[in-house]
Amino acid sequence: MQHTKVSYELTQNYIPSPQAKEKEPVDPASAIENRLMREIVRENLTKRQKCYIIMYYTKGMTMQEIADAEGVSKSTVSRTIGLARKRISCGMKPAMLKSALKGR
C-alpha cells in the first residue's frame, strides 16, 4: 500500500491571512478569539504541526488515519499534536491578546 502525503498547502485553506475578511461572527468576543487563535497558530506552529492539527480538529481524522496518510507512526502524530497544543497554550500571552484587540 502506497502512502500519499497530505499537502501542507492544506493549512492555507483553513488559516486565512490576517487581511482576509471574517464571516460575520456571532459576537465581538468570538471575532477576537478567532483572530487570536489564527495568529497564534500561524506564528507558533511548524508546517507539520499546522497540518496535523487541521487534519485532527477540522477534518475530524483520527491519529491513526493521519499516520496512515502521512506514512508515519501514530505515536509521531500524537507527539506532534501534543507539542502543537503546548505551543498554542504558550502563545497565549498578553502581548498576543493586545495585538488581537488592536485589529478590532
Inform me whether the pLDDT recorded for 81 exceeds 90.
yes
pTM for this model (two decimals): 0.65
Cell reading at 30: 468570538
- Residue 65 sits at φ, ψ, to 5 deg, of -65, -40
Inform me whether the pLDDT recorded for 5 exceeds 80.
no
Domains of the chain: 10-14+24-102 (1.10.10.10)
Residue 27 corresponds to which amino acid?
Answer: D
Percent of the chain at pLDDT above 90?
38
pLDDT grade for 21, boundaries at 50, 70 and 90: low
Q: What is the pLDDT of residue 3?
A: 47
More confident residue, 16 or 102: 102
Euclidean distance between the first and the last CA atom of the chain, given in angstroms as a whole number: 49
Residue in 14, 16, 8, 9 with CA at minimum distance from that of residue 80? 8
Over residues 8-14, mean pLDDT? 58
- The answer to whether 13 and 59 are in contact (CB under 8 A) is no
